C-alpha cells in the first residue's frame, strides 16, 4: 500500500488499579507525538499516513498502555485504503 490511508484505532484497556481513560490518554500521547495527522473522537482515533507508519504507531500505542499499567487490551483497527490517497478531510469537511 503506497498511498495515504486512514486507520481508526480503538484501544480498550483494563486494569485493576488504573482508570481506563488514563491508559487511553497514554495511547493518544503516542499518536500526538507521531507527527501523523489524526482526529480523536469519542470511540476511536483516526490517523492519516502511510500504512507502515500508522501500524508502527498502533504498536507503540499498545506498548504505552502496557507500560502505564494496563493488564490487558482489546485493540480494534479499521483501515480505509484506495487506489488514490485517502483523507480525513474528504470524509469530514461537510460536518465541520
pTM of the predicted structure, to 2 decimals: 0.92
Q: How many other β-carbons are positioned within 10 Å of the β-carbon of residue 24? A: 20
With cut-offs at 50, 70 and 90, classify the pLDDT of residue 90: confident
pLDDT band for position 95 (cuts 50, 70, 90): confident
Q: Where are the domains of the chain?
A: 5-81
The three cell numbers of residue 7 are 486507520
The CATH label, of 3.30.930.10, 3.30.70.930, 3.50.30.30, 3.30.450.40, for the domain at 5-81 is: 3.30.70.930
Q: What's the CA gap between 86 and 65, in Å, rounded?
A: 28
| Strands ordered across the beta sheet of 5-14 | 37-40, 45-49, 5-14, 72-80
- The span from the CA of 39 to the CA of 31, in Å, is 10
14-52 per-position pLDDT tens digit: 999 999 999 999 999 999 999 999 999 999 999 999 999
CB atoms within 10 A of CB 42: 4
Instruction: Identify the CA nearest to 22 among candidates 87, 77, 67.
Output: 67
Cell of residue 70, nine digits: 494496563
Amino acid at each position: 500500500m503506497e498511498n495515504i490511508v486512514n486507520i481508526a484505532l480503538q484501544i480498550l484497556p483494563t486494569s485493576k488499579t488504573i482508570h481506563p481513560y488514563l491508559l487511553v490518554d497514554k495511547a493518544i500521547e503516542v499518536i500526538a507525538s507521531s507527527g501523523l495527522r489524526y482526529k480523536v473522537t469519542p470511540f476511536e482515533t483516526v490517523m492519516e499516513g502511510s500504512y507502515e507508519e500508522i501500524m508502527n504507531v498502533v504498536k507503540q500505542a499498545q506498548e504505552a498502555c502496557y507500560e502505564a499499567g494496563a493488564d490487558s487490551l482489546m485493540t480494534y483497527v479499521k483501515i480505509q485504503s484506495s487506489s488514490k490517497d485517502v483523507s480525513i478531510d474528504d470524509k469530514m469537511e461537510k460536518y465541520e
